[in-house]
Amino acid sequence: MIELEVSNTNIQHMDNLQKMRPPSVIDRYFKKRFKTDVQNKTGEDQLILTHSNRVCVVCIADSHPLIREGKIATKVSFEDKGWNRLDNKFSGKSKRGAQWLDSQAPLCQVTCSDGSLYTLVCCIKGQLIEVNERLLQKPHLITEKPCGEGYLGVLLPGLKWYEREMQKLKSEEEYQSILESRENNLT
Amino acid sequence: MSYLMTYNCIFIQKMDTFNLLTRSSDETKQVSSSLRQIGCCERCILRNLGELNPTSYKSTPQEIERTLLPEELWSSSSVNQCPCPSCLGILQQFADDDYLLKILSNVQKDGYQFSNYQCSLILPVSLLVRQKALFIFLQNKFGNTYKGHETKIASVKDVWKWSCGFRLGQLLGANFQNRSEFDILMTFTYKDSDKECAFLLDHLPDTFRKRKQRKFGFETFTRANVAKALDSMSDSKLEDCVTCPPAVPTTECVCDVSCSHDAVFIAGRYQKYSRELSQTPWMIEGKRIMEGSVQEIICEPIIETFKPTDHRLSSSGREDVDVRMLGIGRPFVVELINPHCVKFSKEDLVQLQKRINSVSKDVKVRDLQIVTREDTNNLKEGEIDKTKTYSATCWCEREITDKDMEMLGGIKDLTLQQKTPLRVLHRRTAATRERIIHSLHVDKLTSCRFKLQLTTQAGTYVKEFVHGDFGRTSPNMIELLKAECDIIDLDVESVNVEWPPLIDPVQSDNRNLDDERNSQDSQPLLIDKCVDKLQSSISVNGQNGAVLEKLADKQLITGEMKIE
């Protein structure tokens, strides 16, 4: 990321800097963590943006086949046999009544134009606070803006096991090295 | 003897000035004598004769005694006896000059400033039982004189004030008033109070179920429930349970004296020029995260001046750590609880304001004034329905065109659907709220940076309106410009509340946008960095989640733009 520790006198540099993008919302407020090979399917990686207040935004990672293989998502569904993430009523600051989900629990299913179907999971154990209902009408956001408007949902892990849940996820460095070794395996 | 004659004459005259229930001076003597025989003090004798004129109680006990009683029943002066069964000594030793001097020294020790005072008495509950028993006794003995006149007996509380209020006022050098901001509270405790009420438990167990809630102090007997119980019982039934007349107490009351002054409210407006200063002290697990706070800068000189036991700062909303508060500032009120010093002129307040303003260059206050409790409601009203004006430095991935500026400038009363921002979602109810952006104005700074000025409804999260918060605030600037957009810094230009009244002149605001831009770009979002650093250090140390929770709460203040 761009470092803004620049001397004021370097006017040329300042000018360039002003054209460049300042640290983004994600850079400023979130830490990126990853879950790779979701449901033991190689390459099905997910990105979890964790805010310092424990709120977790679940997204797909750039290495997920949906993006890597340039799929066109035609349908996003938050329900299937035995689970329905849209049926999630809760109230108050404590979010009483929200679904408690396990890290392996399915969050949504994405159907693509080529007929392929992907299941995306919660990645962390916690309360389901939100699903991105916009994806119902605009499934294409999931690949167009994977870590923006195309987020899948929001979870709030319990205070007690927050640290433990974070440990189970992979850091950005670990994720990069996994990607590298995957590529080495292919070649 | 002749001396006594004249003395008697005066007292007989004085007896006429009393307005008693008794119908002849003979009867008065009879009643007085029998009250004296059961151990009543002078003031209680007068009280139980039905005297309701406050002035009458300014007479000394000796004067009262000599007016009402035959000579053989005059007490051998101050060699005092047991406490009075009717007032437990409260109108006796707790109303004499020696005791008033004790109160005086107690009050002086606390060092309050006051020019008038009121007093409150908390009396032992069993006094009610004793009063009732005494009345039944009088009624039985003197029949029609007393029947139906129970309400004509002045209360111990009133008689204490009538008798001592003026005298204590002279000692204190302050006028006694029924209602004053300065209160002297006397709490009388009497060891046997519960014991003397205990019979009520057998008769009305339901009324006196053991209180479990702490707020009632676990007391079984209260003034309210004892008074109610006594009312519900017939006189004959009461006679069976209570000693009539009440027995002479074997122990004395204990009195505790404490003083308090009504809260004083100081209102004003504050400006904050720093992006590294939180409104309240920022602490995580007792450790300070950031030096200073708006609250401390404003309150410390005020506390030194008014010497309260506690204080609270409230303001018409609040801004994040990294948001400046410009313009004429944000209205605030400091509630000073139990202030010891309260006499201040307008000039004193001007000096106080100067002192606050000399503490730090980051916080300035203006329009400092003393307001009433009722006035402070204006502050909260302003929080809910008044508009706020902001100025934000924004970035866009592409150059802003004249068409963009025209489009944005033309927006009037744009309704947003704003989901609870992710940065406050952990502690606020999740909901989608409608908020209105009343107007927008854009000034271009460089090709990719622009100054966005906007007036919004109270409660609008402005940072989220610019960056969209993952599309969770819609419409947002990204949608309006159809291009990536983000916020670099934010200032509150005005909180549109017309309170407190302006005192200091309003300077026209000719700030130069270019000057500002230079200063802002050199230190972008320092707070965010600070929080990030902290976060990583915390996860490295592997401390528990509570730290994160608190940190997160604070980051709210950091990231928060909303003026609630």
Catalytic, B320? Answer yes
The pLDDT of residue B528:
42
The pLDDT of residue B100:
96
Q: Which residues of B touch A14 (CB under 8 A)?
A: 521
Minimal CA separation from A44 to chain B, in Å: 22
The pLDDT of residue A20:
75
The pLDDT of residue A186:
75
Kindly give, in sequence order, each residue whose CB lies less than 8 Å from that of residue B126, ignoring residues fewer than 6 positions away.
B190, B192, B193, B194, B195, B196, B197, B221
Q: pLDDT-derived band of residue B332, with 50, 70 and 90 as boundaries? A: very high
The pLDDT of residue B326:
96
pLDDT exceeds 90 at position B272: yes
Interface contacts (A, B; CB < 8 Å) = 111
pLDDT exceeds 50 at position B76: yes
CB proximity B427 to A under 8 Å: yes
| Stronger pLDDT, B519 or B198, i.e. the higher one | B198
Find the residue in A nearest to B528 (Cα).
A28
B395, B430, B531 ranked by CB distance to A52: nearest:
B531
The pLDDT of residue B217:
58
pLDDT exceeds 50 at position B103: yes
Is the Cβ pair A29, B553 closer than 8 Å? no
CB proximity B447 to A under 8 Å: yes
Is the Cβ pair A52, B522 closer than 8 Å? no
CB proximity B77 to A under 8 Å: no
| Stronger pLDDT, B19 or B516, i.e. the higher one | B19
Q: Which residues of B touch A24 (CB under 8 A)?
A: 486
Q: Which residues of B touch A134 (CB under 8 A)?
A: 471
| Stronger pLDDT, B338 or B224, i.e. the higher one | B338
Crossing angle of helices B156-172 and B97-110, rounded to 10°: 60
Q: Which of A187, A152, A166, A185 is nearest to A42 (CA)?
A: A185
Q: Read off the pLDDT of residues A104-115 as tens digits, 9 standing for 90 and up.
A: 999 999 999 999
Two structure tokens written together for B299: 């309150």
Give the count of beta carbons closer than 10 Å to the beta carbon of residue A90: 15
Q: Read off the pLDDT of residues B17-29 as tens digits, 9 standing for 90 and up.
A: 788 998 888 899 9
Lowest-confidence segment of B373-377, B468-472, B518-522 by average pLDDT: B518-522
Q: pLDDT-derived band of residue B208, with 50, 70 and 90 as boundaries? A: confident
What is the distance between the alpha carbons of residues B157 and B88, in angstroms, rounded to a whole number? 12
> Which CA distances in Å does A123 have to A108, B52, B109, B222?
12, 80, 65, 59
Find the residue in B nearest to A165 (Cα).
B545
Is the Cβ pair B470, A18 closer than 8 Å? no
Minimal CA separation from A88 to chain B, in Å: 12
Is the Cβ pair A19, B447 closer than 8 Å? yes
Q: Read off the pLDDT of residues B535-561 as tens digits, 9 standing for 90 and up.
A: 333 333 333 334 434 444 444 333 333
What is the distance between the alpha carbons of residues B487 and B470, in angstroms, rounded to a whole number? 14
Q: Read off the pLDDT of residues A143-153 as tens digits, 9 standing for 90 and up.
A: 999 999 999 99
Q: Read off the pLDDT of residues A48-94 as tens digits, 9 standing for 90 and up.
A: 999 989 999 999 999 999 999 999 999 999 999 999 999 999 988 88
Lowest-confidence segment of A25-29, B13-17, B82-86, B544-548 by average pLDDT: B544-548
Minimal CA separation from B525 to chain A, in Å: 9
Q: pLDDT-derived band of residue A17, with 50, 70 and 90 as boundaries? A: low
Is the Cβ pair A134, B448 closer than 8 Å? no
Question: Chain A: which residues have CB within 8 Å of chain B?
Answer: 4, 8, 14-15, 17-19, 21-25, 28-29, 31, 51-55, 57, 90-93, 95, 129-130, 132, 134, 141, 145, 148-149, 151, 154, 156, 159-160, 162-163, 166
B139: three-class secondary structure by DSSP: helix
Q: Read off the pLDDT of residues B53-68 as tens digits, 9 standing for 90 and up.
A: 999 999 999 899 888 8
Q: Which listed residue (B98, B194, B310, B320) is catalytic? A: B320
Q: Which of B429, B408, B411 is nearest to B420 (CA)?
A: B429
Complex ipTM value: 0.89
Q: Read off the pLDDT of residues A123-141 as tens digits, 9 standing for 90 and up.
A: 999 999 999 999 999 999 9
Strand B254-261: give its sheet, edge to edge.
Answer: B175-176, B116-122, B182-189, B254-261
The mean per-residue pLDDT over the stretch B362-367 comes to 96
What is the distance between the alpha carbons of residues B122 and B479, in angstroms, rounded to a whole number? 66
Minimal CA separation from A156 to chain B, in Å: 7
Q: Are A113 and A38 in contact (CB under 8 A)?
A: no
